[in-house]
Amino acid sequence: MAISPGVYSKIIDLSSYTQQIAGTIGFIPFLSKKGRDNQLTFIGGRSEYISEWGEPNIQDYGKNYSQGPYIAYNYLGESGALYGIRCLPDDAKFANMVINTNLAPSDSTASITITYESSINTYAEIKTALETVETVFPLCMIYPIGRGEYYNGISLRFTAHSNPMLSDVYILDIYEKQSDGDDVIIESFQISFEPTATDLSGDSIWIEYILNNYSSILRCEMNLTSGDYSGGYDLVSKVFDKNIGNVSAVTTDSYATISDDKQLFSDWDKNPEAGTATYMVEAKDEKGIIIYGWLGISSGTYSETINVFDGRDLDTASQSWLGDTDNFDTSGDITYRIKKSLTSITSAFISATPVALRQGSEGSLLNADGSLSTTIATQVLSGGYAGTLMNPLTGEDEDSMLDTENFYFSMVFDAGYPASVKTQISTLVQTRRDCVAVLDNGDNATYNLSISSRSNTNTFNNYYTALYESFNKVYDIFTGQDIWVSPIYHMSYLLPRNDNVAELWYAAAGFNRAAIDSIKELRYSPKLGQRDQMYLKQLNPIVKFSNGYVVWGQLTSQSKSSALSDLNIVRLVLYIKRMFEQYCRGFVFEQNDAITWSKVEGELKASLEQIKKKRGLDNYSIKVYATDYMKKTKTFTVDVELNATRTTEKIDLNFNIK
């Protein structure tokens, strides 16, 4: 503390308040042909979803396994906040392409070849595949953002940049095979395999940086597990030195040299001048004409001149340059680069047909005949909700959906999935205790089958889970045909729409907020007496009335009658719980006294008053306190009593005739 005379000021923030939270964030695992897999991914809109995972298609995996993308698409039409995860088994494989540099001691220069790794399941295996084997030095592996057979339809072509003054700069065109069999360019980038290469604006054009940041389809890896660059990088991309002073060259046979008055060529020479040369030089004149050769012995006071040979084997090579020596202008400015070989990546891409990625597969998700393995599909979808799928980037379980501190969502959706998957969904929401599950009761052709399914299969009994009936027929804009869908197909957009036009504590049921105009046919429409029985079984039906289809229920699966039997009240309570938890976290390590208690109580009451004004609460009370013992244990308590506003379910019309 200062003690000398002066003015000392402090700023004390007394403006903190209970911040509202997003009430409508969804989560759904699904199967799809493309996109990142086994990684929890946040999506902000329909176009982003389609760019990542493609358009929904009921024909991909059938009715019980293809509806997830439809649910996600519908949801994103009303809310721009969804966590999704494309599910694949651990044995799914990355399509890939390895660009190799081949250089044996007897070779005069390096050659470029393309190979494929047959079993790349994880990112760690990608790095391992870049290790040098004998005379094969991998330069990089190009692979897609996700695993699967779809990416075998992606192909590439590298062409040299049209500007002759640019060295080792290529145009990378990425092709996708269309339904008619043609390959069409979908992305194109200017790239280099040199990590320090930049464009005229100074931005990096290194292929790994470009693809990993700007491509929606492909990624590139050039780093080994050790952190070093691949062996192929040293051979064809790495520049060990370049011009730093005044450069001159002698192109006369038997006298071929290059000189740089500020260079020390002894670091790159071959002395004695015998055996296999390690380094070569590429020289370029003002017109972009290139000559090149291998480096022998250096000379001069400071080794500023070095001999140039027309082959790596200096025992048999001649002291001469290779390339267009006739037109090379030695009188103008000359630039040079010292490398280990002079090889163009384009030499492996000279065919008119672009070179395809290969070896991608969905693993055991598909049977040998290409049909879906329903057993594996059920397992991976359950794993998507349970957090037990292996993330191919980390090699560990993707369990972010279990992390309530860093990943928040309020609704978890079913999509016509098998009963064991529904059980895992219910387990997830009961484990997190901050979100609700919206499930269907299976595809039941009749009311009796529906009751049987509820009684014997989907026997959930908790207020975090709600069940809906029945499957219905809609027109599918993606396949151009009518399809049968789960009732969650409609709940996925009705719930966020309800939150947009009203509040989350309003019921997403009834004609005002849950009328449906896209249904063509229901499996069955329950009659009044049947609806009574469904109510007792906590089933929420879609009903066809004379004036249209409507969701006619919003019960949770809890059998005990209480306020938490209503989905809208559960959502209200979870919303307030999350909001209060966030606010109270700011008081951890604050003084445990009446001043702190009063502040917390005042702010929490203010937030509940706003909800009350918006018809979410009839009344409430809050008490914040700590006993002497609680103070010793560094604890204070917030008691919250909520009297939620209930919905109307029955209206008595009394006619008194006099």
- Other CB atoms closer than 10 Å to residue 31's CB: what's the count? 26
Element (H, E) at 534: helix 528-536
Give the pLDDT confidence score for residue 167 in this predicted structure: 77
Say if strands 111-115 and 97-102 run parallel, antiparallel, or are unpaired: antiparallel
- The domain limits of the chain are 26-90+364-567, 97-238+345-356, 241-338, 597-658
pLDDT for position 12: 64
Q: Specify the pairing of strand 539-545 against strand 465-469.
A: parallel
Residues 6+ apart with CB under 8 A from 19: 579, 582, 583
Residue with tokens 């529904």: 422
State whether residue 512 is helix, strand or coil: coil
Do 253 and 304 meet the contact criterion of CB atoms below 8 Å apart?
A: no
Buried b (16+ CB within 10 A) or exposed e, 475-498: ebebeeeebbbbbbbbbbbbbbbb
Contact between 489 and 71 (Cβ < 8 Å): yes
Alpha helices for 130-276 (secondary structure H)? 207-214, 231-236
Number of H helices, E strands in the chain: 13, 30
Q: Which region, left, alpha or beta, applies to residue 387 given φ > 0 means left and ψ of -120 to 50 means alpha?
A: left
What pLDDT does residue 647 have?
A: 93
Please list the residues that pair with 247 across neighbouring strands: 260
For the chain, what's the residue count?
658
Residue 554 corresponds to which amino acid?
Q
The answer to whether residues 291 and 336 touch, using CB atoms and an 8 Å cutoff, is: no
Which pLDDT value is given to residue 22? 65
Beta bridge partners of 31: none
CA-CA distance, 537 to 557, in Å (whole number)? 8
What is the sign, positive or negative, of the torsion defined by CA atoms of 402, 404, 409, 414? Answer: positive
Per 3-state DSSP, the chain is made up of helix, strand and coil in percentages (nearest 5) of 25, 25, 50
pTM for the model stands at 0.89
Contact assessment for residue 549 and residue 517, using Cβ atoms and an 8 Å cutoff: yes
Say if residue 470 is preceded by a cis peptide, omega within 30 of 0.
Answer: yes
Ranges of the chain with pLDDT below 70: 1-2, 6, 8-23
**Rounded to a whole number, what is the largest CA-CA distance in the chain?**
128
- Alpha-carbon distance 585 to 401, whole Å? 21
The number of beta carbons lying within 10 Å of the beta carbon of residue 613 is 9
With CA atoms as reference, report the closest residue to 177 among 371, 358, 356, 362.
356
- CA nearest to 122, candidates 89, 156, 97, 94: 94
Fold of 26-90+364-567: Rossmann fold (3.40.50)
Pick the closest to residue 71 from 524, 485, 409, 469 (CA basis). Answer: 485
